[in-house]
């Protein structure tokens, strides 16, 4: 999975919060843009931590 770096993250976020593109888990490299979006400073992917794979506009709201 993640065999790119030699060093382990100093302050890793949880697995589901990691960058879906490059797998970055170092919280220092993951910058919050707003309340629910994070930008990976390594590959500049913007994603929503904890959200299921963002391939569509699926917000997964099964309750109303």
Residues of the shown chain interacting with Zn ion in the complex, contacts defined by CB under 5 A? 19, 21-22, 24, 40, 42-43, 45
Tokens, residue 54 = 């963002």
Cβ nearer to Zn ion, comparing 46 with 62: 46
Closest separation in Å from C-beta 40 to Zn ion: 3
Distances in Å between the Cα of 21 and the Cα atoms of 1, 15, 32, 49, 63 are 11, 13, 16, 12, 29
Cβ nearer to Zn ion, comparing 10 with 61: 10
Cβ nearer to Zn ion, comparing 51 with 61: 51
Q: How many whole angstroms separate alpha carbon 3 and alpha carbon 53?
A: 21
């Amino acid at each position: 999975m993640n065999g790119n770096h030699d060093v382990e993250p100093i302050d890793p976020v949880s697995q589901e919060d990691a960058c879906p593109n490059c797998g970055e888990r170092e919280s220092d490299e993951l910058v919050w843009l707003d309340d629910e979006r994070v930008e990976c400073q390594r590959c500049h992917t913007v994603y929503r931590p904890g959200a299921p794979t963002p391939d569509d506009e699926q917000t997964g709201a099964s309750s109303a």
